[in-house]
Every structure is written in C-alpha cells, then in structure tokens.
Amino acid sequence: MNHDDLRDWSKRAADWAHDYHMTLRDRPVRAQVSPGETAAKLPASPPEAPESPEAIFADFERIVPDAMTHWQHPRFFAYFPANAAPASMWAEQLANAMASNCLIWQASPAATEIEQVTTDWLRQALGLPEGFTGTIHDSASTCTLSAVITMRDRATGWDSVQDGLTGQALRVYASAQTHSSVDKAVRLAGIGQRNLVKIDTDAAYRMDPAALERAIEEDRAAGRIPAGLVICTGGTGIGALDPAAECIAVAKKHDLYVHVDAAWAGSAMICPEFRALWAGVEGADSIVFNPHKWLGVQFDCSVQFLADPAPQIRSLGLRPDYLQTQGRDEIVNFNEWTVALGRRFRALKLWFVLRAYGLEDLRTRIRNHVAWTEELAEAFRATPGFEIVTEPRLALFSFRYAPEGGDANAATEALLARINDDGRVYLTQTVHEGKFVIRVTAGTFDCTRDDVMAVHEVVTELARA
C-alpha cells in the first residue's frame, strides 16, 4: 500500500465508519462470540507476500465488527462510557496522519502548546482556581501511579529516587471505594499492597475523616511513614464520593500529599450545580479526570491537574543530552510529568471537541444523562421484584432482582446473563455488601432518553420470561 492507495482506502474507511455509527442500534451491544472464535479465523502464520487492500478490508468486515463489543452503541450502559464524538474521531484522523511522537517541545511545538492551552480551558470549565496546571496522560491509572510515586519520593525527601526504598514502611491511605488502580500503583511504586490502608466509610460509603486521622496517628506511633492520601470522587463500584474538604484538612495537618481520583465524575464538574460533590478539591495536590469517559474525547485522554508540578517532575523527570532543546532550558517537556517518554498528540482531539460542541452542549448532555438515570432508577423502584441497592450518584446506580421466595444473588446473576446474551442493552455487575448487583451508568455521547428507559423495558421483559 502506498499513499495513493491510502487516500482511496481512507475514504472507503470513512464511509464504512459512517455506516457503522448509523446502524449501531441494529447490532447487539456486546460481542456475541466465544473465546478463540476470532483467532480461529486468522491464518496461523504471517503472509510472506503482500496482500491486496481489497482482501484485507474484506477480512476486516467479515471478522472484526461482529466480534467487537460496541462501546459507542447508544445502549451501552456498562463499566463507564468511553465516548468518541465525531469531532474527536476527525481530530484523531489528522493526528494519526501526522504520526508524531510528542516527547519534547522541540519534537512537537504545536502539540505541547495546544496541550497547555486546552488543559487550562478545562481547568476553567471545572471551576478549579488559577495555579493548577494540566497535562494529558493515557489513562487515570498512569495519573494515579505518577501521583503515588510523587508521594513516595516526597515522603523520603527524594532519597528514594536514587536509593530506592530501603526498609521504610511508607503508608498510603484511601477508602475501600477507590479504584483498583490505586492498589496497582502502590505495588508498582514499591510501597506494597500491605501499606495501602483502606479507611472505614460512613453510612453513605464516604471516607470517615476521623478514621483517617486515627490511622495516620497510629502509623506514626508505630514508626511508619504516612506518605499520601487518595480521595475518591465518583467510585467505579457505586459512585462513592469522599468528603474532600474534611479529608484534605486531615491530610494537610499531617503533611500528606493528596491525589483526587475523579476519573469519571470529574467531567460532571463542568456543571456548576454538581461541584458541591467535590467541595474543597482546590486543596488537593493532584486531581485526575478522564475527558474520554464523559466529554466525548475518545480514549485515550486522561487529564491530571497539579497544584505544583515541580514535585512530580522531580520524581519522574529526566533530561539526558539527547532530549535537550538547545538554548531552551526552562521549556515545558510533558514527558517529564509522567511515566512514558513517547507521547501521542492527544491535545488535538480535546481542542476539536471543545470547539465543535462548546461547554453548554456538553453540560446539556451530562445533565440529561443524570436526569434520565434518576428516572430509570425510579422506574425500577416502582416495579415489583426489583430493589434499588445504591441510589443514583450522578448517572450511576445499582439494582438487583429479588423475586419473592428466591435467592436474589442467583436470580440477579442469571438475569444479567440473559440481558447481555439478548444484546439490546449491555450492563455489568459489582458486589456490594455481599449483594450481587447490576450497575447502570448512562453517558454514551449520543444516547437518548428512550435508549436509557429501554433498560427497564428489556430487563423487566427478560425477568418475566
């Protein structure tokens, strides 16, 4: 294939993409295949000779779409959304065509400076104060790892950068509702799973600030070193929301570095009426949220805001001779803010989406998702045999099927299997206080009220069956 071929086949791919999105409602949301089925359709050995674009594209159409779970389907209500607005896809085409590695300013001046400007646009949109500086990572897991490494090094006076951890028992605190990426981060940072302290929560599943203070004081008395705190704003399981102001006050009293995980719920903070859910967040050192979850900027695009980037750069920054920009000592090189050296031009799709839709359109979508989710929860609450287990938090709630005289966990699990095999909607599960529950989270970019309410129609029909 050459560039002339690429021009023709790119047009063909664009036509295919348009047809794909226009027909998503006709497809089952979840892939209806068995493990190994797709691999069996591919040759066991690579081709020795070139194959024609016609043959390659024909195999793509034959093998791939029906073996994919369709994340852009308007009736995808599983996990959290991973949106791709048309403007984002357009920007990705252009970024892919340039195929730049934006590792330092010199290698990508426009990418670096558009990232600086667009992350500041987001800072303003979220209501964060001046002084916070943003950068784009691939995912919230990388943001959290970067923050935990910074906690580690700050607690050791940065001796750990050169010497590693030499017997210190560092402690990181979080609630039981935090994402598993926090557990992974403490493992990868060398702090260790046993040194991640899960703090008790209150009746609303929010971290208890008094329990946090007790845990810190007990660790200090035992000779351990409190290093940092991870606050949850919109937990993956049930959308739990820690009391940010109170927890940050405790952390700052004990000189702990604070990271706020708002990967999903952070997008909702472009709506001023939701900001009370993370009141006090301006006291944090690090905040992460994912525009690729709820703002239409397709995966991957995770934004980290830092009150002061210097500590993270001190932990993660390296500038060998071959990465110098001659004569530009103080220039921003975003690879020094994160784990990876190579970086994609992620800011382009952020720039396009913010301009193509504007904040008011994005606010309207989020407000609709929240309202429709609450309406759906009320429909289940009014239906005999169903029980709301966790109340709506923004656009997330959980329910279970509890027919009279039956085992609710078994009945709910069996019902979920029928729902996802049916294909009209896609839902996932969690276990909450020993209860197997079905999570519902609305947020697909182009879903409608009818799409959201279809969950009730499909679920109750399959329950009756």
Sketch out the chain's domains with CATH numbers.
101-344 (3.40.640.10)
Tell whether pTM > 0.95: no
CA distance 21 to 385: 36
Q: Please enumerate in sequence order all residues whose Cβ is within 8 A of that of 267, keeping only pairs 6 or more positions apart, or say none.
A: 289, 290, 291, 293, 294, 295, 366
Q: Which of 296, 179, 188 is nearest to 238 (CA)?
A: 179
**Residue 41 region, left (φ>0) first, then alpha (ψ -120 to 50), else beta?**
alpha
Sign, CA torsion 108/112/118/122:
positive
**Are 116 and 332 within 8 A, CB to CB?**
yes
| Nearest residue to 341 via CA among 315, 310, 317 | 317
3-state DSSP assignment of residue 436: strand
Burial of 150 per CB tally in 10 Å (0-12, 13-18, 19+) = buried
Local confidence pLDDT in tens for the 465 residues of the chain: 899 999 999 999 999 999 999 999 999 999 989 999 999 999 999 999 999 999 999 999 999 999 999 999 999 999 888 999 999 999 999 999 988 888 888 888 999 999 999 999 999 999 999 999 999 999 989 999 999 999 999 999 988 988 888 878 999 999 888 888 899 999 999 999 999 999 999 988 999 999 999 999 999 999 999 999 999 999 888 899 999 999 999 999 999 999 999 999 999 999 999 999 999 999 999 999 999 999 999 999 999 999 999 999 999 887 765 565 544 457 788 888 899 888 988 999 999 999 999 999 999 999 999 999 999 999 999 999 999 999 999 999 999 999 988 899 999 999 999 999 999 999 999 999 999 999 999 999 999 999 999 999 999 999 988
**What is the model's pLDDT at position 178?**
85
Give me the count of residues in the chain: 465
Q: What is the pLDDT of residue 326?
A: 43
Q: How far apart are CA 272 and CA 314, in angstroms?
A: 34
| pLDDT for 281 | 96
